[in-house]
Amino acid sequence: LVQVAAGEGPNRETIYGEIFRHDIPDSDDPAAGLFFRWIIDGEWKLIVPTEDVAQSTYAWNPEDRQPQLYHITADPLEQNNLAEKQPEKVKQLTAKLNAWWPGK
Protein backbone atom coordinates (compact mmCIF):
# COMPACT_ATOMS: atom_id res chain seq x y z
CA LEU A 1 0.00 0.00 0.00
CA VAL A 2 2.83 2.40 0.78
CA GLN A 3 4.39 1.66 -2.61
CA VAL A 4 1.12 2.37 -4.40
CA ALA A 5 0.64 5.64 -2.48
CA ALA A 6 4.18 6.65 -3.40
CA GLY A 7 3.50 5.88 -7.06
CA GLU A 8 5.79 2.85 -7.03
CA GLY A 9 3.11 0.15 -7.26
CA PRO A 10 1.58 -1.51 -10.27
CA ASN A 11 0.94 0.77 -13.21
CA ARG A 12 -2.67 0.13 -14.16
CA GLU A 13 -4.22 2.00 -17.04
CA THR A 14 -7.69 0.50 -16.52
CA ILE A 15 -9.61 -0.49 -13.39
CA TYR A 16 -13.04 -2.16 -13.40
CA GLY A 17 -15.65 -2.50 -10.68
CA GLU A 18 -19.27 -2.97 -9.79
CA ILE A 19 -21.80 -1.84 -7.20
CA PHE A 20 -24.32 -4.32 -5.80
CA ARG A 21 -27.44 -4.00 -3.67
CA HIS A 22 -26.89 -4.34 0.05
CA ASP A 23 -29.42 -7.19 0.21
CA ILE A 24 -28.66 -10.14 -2.05
CA PRO A 25 -31.87 -10.99 -3.92
CA ASP A 26 -30.58 -14.36 -5.21
CA SER A 27 -27.55 -16.06 -3.69
CA ASP A 28 -27.36 -18.42 -6.69
CA ASP A 29 -27.22 -15.45 -9.08
CA PRO A 30 -25.18 -12.61 -7.53
CA ALA A 31 -25.61 -10.50 -10.67
CA ALA A 32 -29.31 -10.21 -9.79
CA GLY A 33 -28.26 -7.64 -7.18
CA LEU A 34 -26.08 -5.62 -9.55
CA PHE A 35 -26.86 -1.89 -9.70
CA PHE A 36 -23.88 -0.35 -11.53
CA ARG A 37 -20.70 -1.32 -13.36
CA TRP A 38 -17.85 1.16 -13.70
CA ILE A 39 -14.53 1.61 -15.43
CA ILE A 40 -11.65 3.99 -14.85
CA ASP A 41 -9.51 4.20 -17.97
CA GLY A 42 -6.68 6.71 -17.84
CA GLU A 43 -8.23 10.06 -16.96
CA TRP A 44 -11.83 8.93 -17.53
CA LYS A 45 -14.41 7.23 -15.34
CA LEU A 46 -17.66 5.80 -16.68
CA ILE A 47 -20.50 4.53 -14.45
CA VAL A 48 -23.19 2.47 -16.20
CA PRO A 49 -26.49 1.57 -14.48
CA THR A 50 -28.20 -1.76 -15.03
CA GLU A 51 -31.60 -1.83 -16.72
CA ASP A 52 -33.18 -2.31 -13.26
CA VAL A 53 -31.72 1.00 -12.08
CA ALA A 54 -32.40 2.80 -15.36
CA GLN A 55 -36.07 1.82 -15.20
CA SER A 56 -36.47 1.86 -11.42
CA THR A 57 -38.96 3.71 -9.34
CA TYR A 58 -36.51 3.83 -6.44
CA ALA A 59 -35.61 7.19 -4.96
CA TRP A 60 -32.54 7.36 -7.20
CA ASN A 61 -31.04 10.62 -8.26
CA PRO A 62 -32.30 10.97 -11.87
CA GLU A 63 -28.68 11.17 -13.05
CA ASP A 64 -28.14 7.65 -11.67
CA ARG A 65 -30.48 6.30 -14.34
CA GLN A 66 -28.13 7.30 -17.18
CA PRO A 67 -24.45 6.61 -17.85
CA GLN A 68 -22.16 9.06 -16.09
CA LEU A 69 -18.80 10.10 -17.55
CA TYR A 70 -16.22 12.08 -15.62
CA HIS A 71 -12.79 13.44 -16.51
CA ILE A 72 -11.39 12.55 -13.11
CA THR A 73 -8.13 14.48 -13.28
CA ALA A 74 -9.95 17.72 -14.12
CA ASP A 75 -13.00 16.86 -11.97
CA PRO A 76 -11.85 14.58 -9.11
CA LEU A 77 -15.09 15.11 -7.16
CA GLU A 78 -17.15 13.95 -10.15
CA GLN A 79 -19.36 17.03 -10.28
CA ASN A 80 -19.57 17.48 -14.07
CA ASN A 81 -21.15 14.57 -15.96
CA LEU A 82 -19.81 14.74 -19.53
CA ALA A 83 -21.79 11.79 -20.94
CA GLU A 84 -24.04 13.88 -23.18
CA LYS A 85 -21.13 15.98 -24.45
CA GLN A 86 -18.82 12.99 -25.06
CA PRO A 87 -21.03 10.21 -26.55
CA GLU A 88 -18.10 8.61 -28.41
CA LYS A 89 -16.09 8.32 -25.17
CA VAL A 90 -19.14 6.75 -23.49
CA LYS A 91 -19.45 4.29 -26.38
CA GLN A 92 -15.73 3.44 -26.29
CA LEU A 93 -15.61 2.89 -22.53
CA THR A 94 -18.90 0.96 -22.51
CA ALA A 95 -17.46 -1.43 -25.11
CA LYS A 96 -14.36 -1.92 -22.98
CA LEU A 97 -16.51 -2.44 -19.86
CA ASN A 98 -18.73 -4.96 -21.68
CA ALA A 99 -15.65 -6.87 -22.85
CA TRP A 100 -14.66 -7.20 -19.17
CA TRP A 101 -18.16 -8.15 -17.96
CA PRO A 102 -21.40 -7.56 -19.84
CA GLY A 103 -23.36 -7.44 -16.58
CA LYS A 104 -26.92 -8.62 -16.69
**34-41: strand order across its sheet:** 14-20, 34-41, 44-49, 68-71
- How does DSSP classify residue 41? E
Q: 26 pLDDT exceeds 80?
A: no
Output the pTM of the full model.
Answer: 0.75
Q: Mind listing the pLDDT tens digit for each residue in 59-99? A: 566 666 789 999 999 999 999 999 999 999 999 999 999 99
C-alpha separations of 60 from 2, 20, 49, 73, 89 in Å: 37, 14, 11, 26, 24
